[in-house]
Amino acid sequence: MISLENVAMKLNGAQNIVITAHTNPDGDAIGSSLAMKHALESVGKRAKVVIDDKLPRHLSCLPDFDTIIRPPQTAEKIPCDIFLVLDTAPDRIGDTQKSFEGEMLNIDHHITNKGNPSCTYVDAKRAATAEIIYELLDIMQITLTKKIASCLYLGMATDTGFFKFANTTAFTMNAVANCLEAGVKPNEIAEFTEQKSYETVKTMAEAMNTLELFADGRAAGIFLNEELTKKAETTEGFIDQIRIIEGVDIAVLLKCNNARECRVSMRSKGANVAKIAESFGGGGHIRAAGATLNMGFYEAKSAIMAAITFALKG
């Protein structure tokens, strides 16, 4: 694995950087990517963020959110100095890699990242990739502006459940304190990211009607068929509503995108959900992980419930 100092050296020597993250992007993926963009631009480099998926609207409070683009559909790859993959292994970035050509660097905090060690830096002790970017910018001696700090703060906040999860560390809180010193207003970010439309709240009520307990009450799931998935403008926060159920270790949210694709997100209080996700070609952390299942709704629901039940019994 390369060192963070090596990553800093390569970025310092580059001028044109393309930044990307995983499909189905979350707060850490978007926050880390935009923080890196602002940081590189602050020292005179050209940088753009390219994500091959629909962006979650509740993150649109981040500065330059509206500059994020989808990968261009081009026959020839567009050259860049550095192709920077954040918060995931390169096999989860969709078609973005097909559109750009440059030296790849991969920064991640997921223990399941098995990327090429010659270009990959992974620190699974960090609660969020945003924490690693915070370290990287310190090595690069880039000043923490309010724009950069806002993006880093949101990345750390969302991956720690706004500092409630077990992955919150002293390092996290020290980094957050410095973000606040740079001008971040936690209340403003929380109010914006937590607000939901009337339609979303109504859909959440419908989603809760799909709630099932299984594995002898040690697991709880929300299972959204294709119709409900399309109705849901966002499912942000849905899984948090069921992980608090007494006696539940694993909470799961299944969304059916179409007849042959479902997405699964899992959260746990003790069990290793990363292993479950890996069995379906996904990944993540011990306490938070996900996967895309190339199955129909009922098949995917049955498969994930069986895998969770087996893991809890094992």
- Kindly state the DSSP code that residue 69 receives in the 8-state scheme: B
Q: Rounded to an integer, what distance in angstroms lies between the CA atom of residue 125 and that of residue 276?
A: 20
Can you tell me whether residue 100 is helix, strand or coil?
Answer: strand
Q: Rounded to an integer, what distance in angstroms lies between the CA atom of residue 136 and that of residue 175?
A: 12
pLDDT of 194 over the 80 cut: yes
Residues of the chain with CATH 3.90.1640.10: 4-194
| 159 vs 232: which has the higher pLDDT | 159
Using one digit for the tens of pLDDT, what is the confidence trace for 209-233? Answer: 999 999 999 999 999 999 999 988 8
Q: Which amino acid is at 82?
A: I
DSSP codes of every residue in 132-175: HHHHHHHHTT----HHHHHHHHHHHHHHTTTTTSTT--HHHHHH
Q: Rounded to an integer, what distance in angstroms lies between the CA atom of residue 20 and that of residue 49?
A: 6
pLDDT of 112 over the 90 cut: no
DSSP codes of every residue in 219-269: EEEEEE-HHHHHH-S--TTTGGGTTTSTT--EEEEEEEEETTEEEEEEEES
Give the pLDDT of residue 259.
Answer: 92
Residue 148's alpha-carbon distances to 135, 184, 230, in angstroms, are 13, 10, 33
Using one digit for the tens of pLDDT, what is the confidence trace for 26-75? Answer: 999 999 999 999 999 999 999 999 999 999 888 999 999 999 999 998 87
Mean pLDDT of 159-168: 92
* Burial zone of 177 (CB within 10 Å; 0-12 exposed, 13-18 middle, 19+ buried): exposed
Q: Rounded to an integer, what distance in angstroms lies between the CA atom of residue 18 and that of residue 121?
A: 17
pLDDT of 83 over the 90 cut: yes
Please state which CATH number belongs to domain 4-194. Answer: 3.90.1640.10
CATH class for domain 198-313?
alpha beta
For residue 291 the two structure tokens come to: 């996967």
Using one digit for the tens of pLDDT, what is the confidence trace for 123-152? Answer: 999 999 999 999 999 999 999 999 999 999
Residues of the chain with CATH 3.10.310.30: 198-313
Give the pLDDT of residue 115.
Answer: 85
119-154-36 Cα angle (round to 5): 35
Q: Which pairs count as long-range contacts for 10-15, CB under 8 Å and 24+ apart, including other chains?
A: 10/82, 10/103, 10/105, 11/40, 11/45, 11/82, 11/84, 11/105, 11/136, 11/140, 12/140, 13/81, 14/45, 14/81, 14/82, 14/103, 15/45, 15/46, 15/81
Give the pLDDT of residue 153.
Answer: 98
Mean pLDDT of 172-193: 96
Residue 260's alpha-carbon distances to 40, 89, 255, in angstroms, are 40, 23, 12
Do 115 and 89 contact (CB within 8 A), yes or no?
Answer: yes
Phi-psi sector, 284: left (phi>0), alpha (psi -120 to 50), beta? left
Binning pLDDT at 50, 70 and 90, where does residue 237 land?
confident
For residue 43 the two structure tokens come to: 């020292």
Binning pLDDT at 50, 70 and 90, where does residue 279 land?
very high
**% of residues, the chain, pLDDT over 90:** 85
Q: Rounded to an integer, what distance in angstroms lies between the CA atom of residue 298 and that of residue 199?
A: 26
